[in-house]
Amino acid sequence: MSSDRIRAVALSCLLTVGVLAPAAPALADDLPADPPVAAEPAPGELPAEPLPAEPLPAEPLPADPLPADPPVVDEPAPASGVAPTLAGRLAAVAGSKTMNYYPSGAGWSAMWTRFDAEQIDSDLARISALGADGVRIVVFPRVFGFPTPKPEYLDRLAAFVDIAARHDLAVKLTLFDWWSYYKLVRGSVDWAKAVIGPYADDPRVIAVEVKNEMSPEDVPAVRWARQIIPAIRDFAPTMPLTVSVDGHAGPDGLAELRDAFGDVTLDYYDYHFYGESEQALPDIVRARDSVAPEVMVIGETGLSTGVGSPGEQAAYLARVFRAAAVAGVRSVAPWTLTDFAQGAIPAGSMVSVTPSQYQFGLYRLDGTAKPAAAVVRNAWAATESYEDVLDLSFEQDNRDSPWRDNLPAAGVAEQTDEVAHDGRYSVRFSGTGRDPRGLPSLRISPVTPVRGGQSWSASAWARGENATGTTEITLSWFDERGRWIKQDKSARLPRGTTDWRQLTVTAVAPDDAAGVQLHLKSGDNAGSVWFDDVSLS
């Protein structure tokens, strides 16, 4: 929004056509198959050399009994004294207000190797204060020990579940992340039984994701999952089981995963959304319909403030929550609570060397909240305040602005307090040119999803001083794939010096529209133009 914001020209070009894809958190198994390790493996980790091959049993698992159960910690009694049912747990999953969680100083597997109960207690208190009723955590065979988990790591998991319960947070467990030893079927079942067996009838744990972000094209992974899911059901029949799909795979990937599992059904489907929030509704609807009538939740979503401003992150989450509500999807889980400190993400993975991965948090490292924290709190309390999110009067700190510069090489808008239609601030274009693709502008998209046939209107107050060129506002329409359809324009601000005038545009969304952008444009302008007090409905 201001001239001192870092904006790459190449990125701005992508924004012009509305096809910027937000970076997603780490994909499953992004560690190399044989990561470099020290001569002595870290406690609980597997050695670098491949594990010994175990013959892959035919589907289903053989009828002969599994080996004796590995040692586990004492099984806790159900917190309520009443054993949960599958239907009850699924109902909790369908409406869960879940936060994805790692501590800011110990992400991924480091959460367990650097286990800090005091920090976890503080973080879960913050999660609860946001209005959450659940928390998702990930358990790693490499760290816990395989195929027999080490008692100290099982104790740490038990401690986490206890802490979560004290803050009225149910736990979702994700297993087998950073794992690709798919020939070890029986060992995988033994390990899963040791980890989740104690919680089979514990209502404090409401669901288990057997594998995070599995590709439906990964045949060994699918074959492995098809065998261990029925085995887990044998010892945890009331535990809802799922497998999420790669966060970049989209609705088609979710449908392909369902088809790949064949007659091995999942109890619910976990969809990770990192697409364009402006077209979130058709994406979520397609994903929901691809697995209907089974329950679908959005198990991860978010935008890194390493690739967008804090205001853009807030608007992104507001759009996803709103689109999910319109689609009837009642559970949306933000990724993640806090930003990660340098050194928090274990080395040897793509995550640790990707700067954007460190800044998905709703809170900064110093503990201060980004605007997205209020969006999540309000969404979970059903008290959304979308006009505040969009900053339509430009009164927020410009560093937190959700507005995006478009074609900034030809000119950018700057927040200023020199004049304002109302309040203290407005935005000003001065000395602008033009780009072969169009006029420089400032753009925003609504939180409310766009559907074909809707009537939309927008307005903005504008004033000029020695203005030249073209100053107008436009509505640009996009289809569900983010492709530009057309634009509708307002009347132009007269050239020269003018007092505040309201520019208005009203249009009906094209039948194939799924997104709209409001542009405040001023190009070929040797003078100055100010915009303020925008409306979009």
pLDDT, one tens digit per residue, over 369-391 is 999 999 999 999 988 766 789 99
- Is the pLDDT reported for residue 2 higher than 70? no
pLDDT confidence of residue 25? 59
CA distance 281 to 328: 10
- Check pLDDT > 80 for residue 46: no
Q: How high is the pLDDT of residue 42?
A: 33
| Number of other CB atoms surrounding residue 382 within 10 Å | 8
Residue 200 is given by DSSP the state: T
* HSE-CB for 398 with a 13 A CA cutoff: 19
Q: What is the pLDDT of residue 399?
A: 84
What is the mean predicted confidence (pLDDT) over 3-20? Answer: 37
pLDDT in tens, 426-443: 999 999 999 999 999 999
To the nearest 5 percent, what fractions of the chain are helix, strand and coil? 30, 25, 45
Place of tokens 């980004």: 370
**475-491 pLDDT per residue, tens:** 999 999 899 999 999 99
Does residue 302 carry a pLDDT above 50?
yes
pLDDT higher than threshold 90 for residue 19: no
How confident is the model at residue 349, as a pLDDT?
Answer: 83
Residue that the structure tokens 């400032």 belong to: 442
> Has residue 246 got a pLDDT over 80?
no
pLDDT in tens, 76-134: 444 455 789 999 999 999 999 999 999 999 999 999 999 999 999 999 999 999 999 99
Look up tokens 């046939």; give the residue: 453
User: For residue 167, what pLDDT is reported?
Assistant: 98
* 256-296 pLDDT per residue, tens: 999 999 999 999 999 999 999 999 999 999 999 999 999 99
Interhelix angle 117-129/151-166, nearest 10 degrees: 30
In this prediction, residue 58 carries a pLDDT of 32
Q: How far is CA 483 from CA 251, 402, 405, 479, in A?
A: 18, 21, 19, 5
pLDDT of residue 513: 96
Average pLDDT score over residue span 236-261: 92
**For the chain, what percent of residues have pLDDT higher than 70?**
84
Of 24 and 140, the one with more pLDDT: 140
- Looking only at the bridges linking them, the beta strands covering 414-416 and 404-406 are unpaired
- At 24, is the pLDDT very low, low, confident or very high (cuts 50, 70, 90)? low
Alpha carbon distance 443, 68 (integer Å): 62
Q: How confident is residue 168, by pLDDT bands cut at 50, 70 and 90?
A: very high
Indicate whether 317 pLDDT > 50: yes
The per-residue pLDDT for 247 is 72
Residue 49 pLDDT > 90, yes or no?
no
Average pLDDT score, the chain: 87
How high is the pLDDT of residue 23?
A: 56
Answer yes or no: is pLDDT of 324 > 60.
yes
pLDDT(135) > 70: yes
Kindly tell me if the per-residue pLDDT of 6 is higher than 70.
no
CB 241 within 8 A of CB 266: yes
Q: Is 411 exposed, middle or buried (0-12, 13-18, 19+ CB in 10 A)?
A: buried
Phi first, then psi: give them for residue 29, nearest 5 degrees: 55, 45
> How do beta strands 515-523 and 470-478 pair?
antiparallel
Residue 354, SS3? coil
Contact residues for 154 (Cβ-Cβ < 8 A; gap 6+):
72, 73, 144, 194, 195, 198
The residues, ordered by sequence, that sit 6+ positions from 55 with a Cβ below 8 Å of its Cβ are 183
> What pLDDT shows up at residue 351?
87
Q: 């070890």: which residue's tokens?
A: 184
Position 502 pLDDT exceeds 60: yes
CA distances, 432 to each of 58, 229, 298, 413 (Å): 69, 61, 42, 10
Per residue in 178-208, pLDDT (tens digit) is 999 999 999 999 999 999 999 999 999 999 9
CA distance 315 to 390: 7
Q: Which helix (H) or strand (E) holds 382?
A: none
Using pLDDT thresholds of 50, 70 and 90, give the confidence band for residue 348. Answer: confident
pLDDT tens sequence across 156-167: 999 999 999 999
Instruction: Dump the DSSP string for 44-57.
Output: TPPPSSPPPP---P
